[in-house]
Amino acid sequence: MRKKRSWLSWAILGILMGWGLAGNFIVLPVQAAQERTVQTGSAEKAAVFKPLPGPKKKCWIDDTVYFTYEFNEKPKMGMVILKVQIFSKKGDKIAPFLIKGRSDMPSMRGAHDSGDQDFKLSRRNDYLLPLNIVMPGDWEVRLTFLKGETPVFHASLAFHV
């Protein structure tokens, strides 16, 4: 009885795997690279962070939405507030995304990595994130814009302290 059952479960597993493999063989050649960048690894690794122009410059997310960023003061040692504002094409300030920010020093990647932090949305629809600048040098903040749980845009801004 026991033997028979395990034989059966192997057979079922085999069939399921067979289907899975067949599916892969059919799908992979067709969808190739795109599929792979989207699905494998974490979104973090696959993501390409588009380098941004300077503060207050328009950065288009798509045809209808752009954003700007700026700091509350010239970045220096200590706490600096990064502000992101999102606008419709017409120029209305809107808040259609969640934004995460991750600061670090590219020259010593990981040494001051803040990890992904949520921007806080103010009543004025400003997205705000405090950055802790602990060392002079070149800094980077990686921004991820999300619709629900899904990252829809990645961007990177750089500044010097």
By CB under 5 A, name the binding residues for Cu ion.
Answer: 105, 108, 135
The rounded distance, in Å, linking the Cα atoms of 151 and 101 is: 12
Smallest distance, Å, CB 110 to Cu ion? 10
The rounded distance, in Å, linking the Cα atoms of 131 and 81 is: 6
The rounded distance, in Å, linking the Cα atoms of 66 and 37 is: 25
Residue nearest Cu ion by beta-carbon distance? 135
Specify whether the CB–CB gap between 59 and 68 falls below 8 A.
yes
Smallest distance, Å, CB 127 to Cu ion? 25
Smallest distance, Å, CB 125 to Cu ion? 33
The rounded distance, in Å, linking the Cα atoms of 143 and 49 is: 8
Smallest distance, Å, CB 104 to Cu ion? 9
Of 113 and 118, the one with the shorter C-beta distance to Cu ion is: 113
Of 18 and 136, the one with the shorter C-beta distance to Cu ion is: 136
Of 17 and 134, the one with the shorter C-beta distance to Cu ion is: 134
Smallest distance, Å, CB 33 to Cu ion? 35
Q: Is 75 exposed, middle or buried (0-12, 13-18, 19+ CB in 10 A)?
A: middle
Provide the strand spans (E) within the chain.
50-51, 59-60, 65-71, 78-88, 93-94, 98-104, 117-118, 120-121, 127-133, 138-147, 150-160
Of 91 and 110, the one with the shorter C-beta distance to Cu ion is: 110
Of 105 and 143, the one with the shorter C-beta distance to Cu ion is: 105
